[in-house]
Structure 1
């Protein structure tokens, strides 16, 4: 019984961030857009209504408030004036507000020219801005439910901001470049992720302020609590109830306003704006609220009460006399709008508001991108894994198990299962990693599609199954099986895992349905034999798509640069190879490049001289007429002593050279494809592909190559920690991952890398130093085996066992790239020692131990 494991804290936060983002993101985008519009509402209305909110300043004196009041009352006779708003700016017009009609929130207002007393036209577009405000504050809902919805959205905004901060928190957060810099050369998903994360960091404080103030306004309990802390009395319960509106009384001969205004000017010489609230009866008092020119913000209001009859000062409450808590309460709205920090603050809040739709868009694009990347295989997997209804006569289900490293075995298994089901057979499609050997006894027929990893090893995901298959007593006498073994003849143990699996199943008493079929690098003829054999089990014929057995076509790449990286080293020369192509080629960190190499002219001339054949003779090879020497150049050369009656007989016997596979050392955003190629030498001379790339092909020459996806070595989709372990030319695969992670802003990386001599083999030293300085490589261990104090990668790994356990405990993914003989095996043993074999195997089962070794 498998042990149920809680998801990691980071995984939980990631799922919450994603879920809240795609559910509340649209409404937050609406709030952001409306907030951005409202940020400069007065300025926009002024531009849209020239000569209404502001006029040209004149040399004559402005009219007194009483004259402005009388001018406004002439256009709306019989209506009660509620207030007058005046600005010290000589260009500002006066705003006169009238009492609201029954059932309305606000009454009409008019603007009056400050010099002539003329009533100015009504503001155009003001109704549109009022609608935007209603949408921003309540989403056009009734006020009570609207406030509740906005409060929930404010909580969501806080949650997104804080969870985003947690998800991108680097291991060493001291470098500001790590947080705030953005690389404009990024493309595709990396560009979207970096834009989303970096912009979120820039806007983080703004969103915390907006979210916090939004919560204050939306929930009574929060507002009452904050006001209680500030020293204000709690609002009476009756305040939330609808109060009967008082009958609007007409002024019964109010006293003149000028004496009160003169008193105000005497006590507030530095006023910037003032609101005069008129009494309902002539015997009342004028209430003035005003902002000083040196006031900290637009809500730093001073208050006065002036007797209407003679303008005497009844009460003066300056802003500075309020308690600290009361003054703090007045900052809530200025903080929300950014005006607390002046014009820069308003601009920042506007930009942060405008960014909310951007976060919604980039979040959705990232989500859809992940779905699009996985859609094809996921759809096939879901269809294949779904148990099909058993048709009459279908019989017991056939087990179809696959052991895959790069994904090819799974794709073949998916298509094979589809063929069997199309023929009416029931199929249980299982990954070997999810299969136990004891389950085999429950099947009459068991088919295996088995890839070989490295030099004859089981794929990482199949190691547990293989170990258990060899461990205990198991009898499979009643089971019939077949194995499709995938491999590469360039390796000494060709199809090694498939052969070992076939032999073990036979030793346990299972009976072979048909002889094992070995497939050399997707050989179409061998896959055709497999499909024919499945036909004997009832599979429908001709259902294996070409994509399952045909590799992508080779394309032309130009060699644009070649750099010797380790002159003077005891090791073989290592070169950086830079290729470019005119076609649109995309790959991701961890992928591979298949390179078609050809024999040198000297090799061909020597072979032709020994065979006695004419290299210029015309032959037909692979359906194309060409000289024999061209066909030989791209083929495995037969033994020189082989007698051929003619050039065409020789061409008919030729087998194309298998492409050589290299780890890609860069990412598409680099603008070119980079390889790190070690020059190989043997008794016959220089290695075919390494010699072709590092010595024989001239810079500017063309290379035939194709991209090969390598999903078993891809990086995680989230920002969890990653450990990169390798040696020699294995730096290629690690470098691609590190470049991708750094550009995406994911800085929880650890590099353990080994070479021979520090003085000559410090590969990518400048780049590594830059990553470390930027905080993108908080852990870095470089070891050298031929220096005075020799050390190997596995030795350093054991020395740092505690750190390794800590990173693994925090969901780290381990990538190993380099030589299978020596480094990779020793690292695997070190991991088993440090984590325990069960711990290492758990990493494999969880997809957190990924290898690209050769």
Structure 2
């Protein structure tokens, strides 16, 4: 059985190796996407907060942005709780989710001046995410990454079986022999490191399948809700009221913070005159990440139409919301992010070390059988033993 699993592990690894390498390396970057982007592009996200100066109304800021980019009608605005943060808009031109039709705009909330506008398809982490999910090949790339992710799950399981030691070899399988030959060291890096992070990689791979296949997403809801029909967070229908003279975006923001008094950024999504404006707030005080509450308002009046609170969500939706933080390692903040980063880097090394193991075996010279010594009289005659001894 181990020979069969070894053959399967080898050839599945060769088939999926390059994709696993790309997905793992891009995944390691995405673990700290926010921190890296805020460090290397800080001017986009941070402003100088003047003393004793209040922020301009959100409606005025949105009017400034839309005046500069009239072709973009819908989008989102994200308002951080810290006073030294810019307000970031993601504007959408036309329908669909084509990144070429999206624009990130950062604006100074105190002066109303646009800091920078960046096409979504040219943003560094947008490209990294496209490479991670689609290999920058659209739906074809999604199929390839989905198959490779499925293969990687099999590789983790077969790798664990192949690693499993006998009693007298446990110590060898649990530690890296750093002073060994290159071939032995490479094997240890592949097998020992792979063992220590196999549970993390299994969790990352299985959650990745939720995005790859609708049936996996349905299976998740079936396990927790008893129905395979996935739930979606969508804004309810609501007809906008025109020319009310109300600064309703500012009012929506204030009402959201009043009804959801915990600390966290607020994202306001505006999609059109027939759909309610959605205000979501990220709960920074929650025990796990990706915990949001949603409020929906009528455009023009800021009248609350509907609320969707995390505590009232179904078990299936709560489980679905856990998929993203488990996959990215953000579930418990920095400690799990560091674990996810290390695991991603080790995962990226596995195709390399595995290939070196394979090449090392191919180059291995077959062991020549030792020639048997031919003793005169032995095996060729029926001479008695004392005669043979005398001849020796």
**TM-score if structure 1 supplies the norm length?**
0.40
Which one of the candidate residues 156, 163, 181 is aligned to 2:151?
156
Report Cα offsets for 1:333-392 as digits up to 9, x if no partner.
111101112112222222222223311111111111122222xx48xxxxxxxxxxxxxx
Q: Which has the higher strand share?
A: 1
Structure 1: tracts of 5 or more residues without a match: 1-8, 240-248, 379-405, 410-450, 453-484, 486-494, 507-854
Alignment of structure 1 residues 393-412 onto 2, 5 Å? 407-409=369-371
- The corresponding residue for 2:235 is none
- The corresponding residue for 1:34 is 26
Deviation at 1:126, TM superposition (A): 4.2
Structure 2: tracts of 5 or more residues without a match: 233-238, 384-392
- The corresponding residue for 2:10 is 18
Report Cα offsets for 1:640-698 as digits up to 9, x if no partner.
xxxxxxxxxxxxxxxxxxxxxxxxxxxxxxxxxxxxxxxxxxxxxxxxxxxxxxxxxxx
Task: Give the paired residue count.
Answer: 370
- The corresponding residue for 1:670 is none
Alignment of structure 1 residues 659-808 onto 2, 5 Å? none
Does the 8 Å CA contact 2:79/2:87 hold for their aligned counterparts?
yes
Distance 1:165 1:193, change over 3 A: same
**TM-score if structure 2 supplies the norm length?**
0.84
Deviation at 1:250, TM superposition (A): 11
Which one of the candidate residues 133, 137, 140 is aligned to 1:137?
133
Deviation at 1:10, TM superposition (A): 1.2
Between the aligned partners of 1:372 and 1:291, the Cα distance in structure 2 is 56
Does residue 322 of the first structure (1) align with residue 313 of the second (2)? yes
Does residue 204 of the first structure (1) align with residue 198 of the second (2)? yes
- The corresponding residue for 2:264 is 272
- The corresponding residue for 1:588 is none
Does residue 215 of the first structure (1) align with residue 209 of the second (2)? yes
- Three-state SS of the structure 1 residue aligned to 2:94 is coil
Does residue 91 of the first structure (1) align with residue 84 of the second (2)? yes
Deviation at 1:180, TM superposition (A): 4.4
Deviation at 1:285, TM superposition (A): 3.4
Deviation at 1:141, TM superposition (A): 2.5
Does residue 502 of the first structure (1) align with residue 370 of the second (2)? no
Distance 1:187 1:62, change over 3 A: farther
Does the 8 Å CA contact 1:161/1:204 hold for their aligned counterparts?
yes
Alignment of structure 1 residues 45-64 onto 2, 5 Å? 45-59=37-51, 60-64=53-57
Between the aligned partners of 2:46 and 2:162, the Cα distance in structure 1 is 49
Alignment of structure 1 residues 287-686 onto 2, 5 Å? 287-374=278-365, 377=366, 407-409=369-371, 451-452=372-373, 485=374, 495=375, 499-503=377-381
Deviation at 1:179, TM superposition (A): 5.8
100-109 vs 134-143, which deviates more? 100-109
Between the aligned partners of 1:266 and 1:163, the Cα distance in structure 2 is 53
Between the aligned partners of 1:335 and 1:499, the Cα distance in structure 2 is 75
Distance 1:305 1:184, change over 3 A: same
Report Cα offsets for 1:535-587 as digits up to 9, x if no partner.
xxxxxxxxxxxxxxxxxxxxxxxxxxxxxxxxxxxxxxxxxxxxxxxxxxxxx
- Three-state SS of the structure 2 residue aligned to 1:51 is helix
Distance 1:172 1:156, change over 3 A: same
- Three-state SS of the structure 2 residue aligned to 1:368 is helix
Runs of 4+ in structure 1 deviating by more than 6 angstroms, as ranges, are: none
Query: What is the CA RMSD across the aligned residues, in angstroms?
Result: 3.1
53-62 vs 300-309, which deviates more? 53-62
Distance 1:132 1:279, change over 3 A: closer
Does the 8 Å CA contact 1:270/1:292 hold for their aligned counterparts?
yes
* Larger radius of gyration between Structure 1 and Structure 2: 1
Between the aligned partners of 2:145 and 2:25, the Cα distance in structure 1 is 14
Report Cα offsets for 1:782-837 as digits up to 9, x if no partner.
xxxxxxxxxxxxxxxxxxxxxxxxxxxxxxxxxxxxxxxxxxxxxxxxxxxxxxxx
Does the 8 Å CA contact 2:107/2:116 hold for their aligned counterparts?
no
Q: Which has the higher helix share?
A: 2
